[in-house]
């Protein structure tokens, strides 16, 4: 019945992560999380589309922090890296290695190959939160465990 608004943030995110031309945002190896390269994302997706595939005006903002705010509003949580996080290829050229900001985010309703789950991605508004009042009620920064 109720499909997902293709202009909503989760729908845009889904299209981006499944778009091979966009290298800045992709699935993690397990397909359960999102990897976003901040610098590359700013060039490719934000700031006016001089990027590769011409993501013309996909988002109104030019600030990466707005993307993070949206992720949190839709219930995504940051996954602590620290472990694998694929090795830096660093072939040779380019040189300026630059402090990488590779963000890893996860939502139980955003999994590779499962577009059917997108309908469960709700914006965490006051009213929506009231509806889910009986939920486990995670605190703002999960004190310890976070992978559910």
Residue 98, binding choice from DNA, a copy of itself, none, Cβ under 5 to 8 Å by partner class:
a copy of itself
Residues 6+ apart with CB under 8 A from 30: none
Identify the residue among 15, 63, 114, 147 touching DNA (CB under 7 A): 63
**Binding string to a copy of itself for residues 79 to 98, with x set by CB under 8 A, is what?**
-xxxx------------x-x
Spatial contact of 46 and 61, defined as CB atoms under 8 Å apart: yes
Identify the residue among 86, 89, 94, 99 touching a copy of itself (CB under 8 A): 99
Asked if 138 touches a copy of itself (CB under 8 A), the answer is: no
Asked if 30 touches a copy of itself (CB under 8 A), the answer is: no
Q: Between residues 40 and 77, which has the closer beta carbon with respect to DNA?
A: 77
Asked if 139 touches a copy of itself (CB under 8 A), the answer is: no
Spatial contact of 58 and 45, defined as CB atoms under 8 Å apart: yes
The structure tokens 């559910």 sit at 148
Asked if 139 touches DNA (CB under 7 A), the answer is: yes
């Amino acid at each position: 019945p109720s499909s997902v608004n293709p202009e909503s943030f989760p729908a845009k995110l889904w299209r981006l992560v499944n778009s091979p031309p966009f290298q800045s945002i992709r699935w993690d190896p397990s397909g359960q999380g999102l990897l976003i390269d901040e610098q590359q994302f700013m060039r490719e997706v934000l700031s006016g589309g001089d990027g590769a595939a011409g993501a013309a005006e996909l988002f109104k903002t030019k600030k990466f922090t707005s993307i993070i705010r949206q992720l949190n509003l839709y219930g995504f949580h940051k996954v602590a890296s620290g472990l694998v996080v694929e090795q830096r290829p660093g072939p040779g050229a380019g040189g300026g290695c630059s402090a990488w900001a590779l963000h890893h985010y996860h939502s139980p309703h955003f999994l590779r190959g499962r577009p059917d789950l997108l309908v469960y991605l709700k914006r965490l508004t006051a009213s929506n939160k009231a509806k889910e009042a009986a939920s486990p009620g995670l605190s703002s920064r999960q004190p310890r465990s976070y992978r559910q």
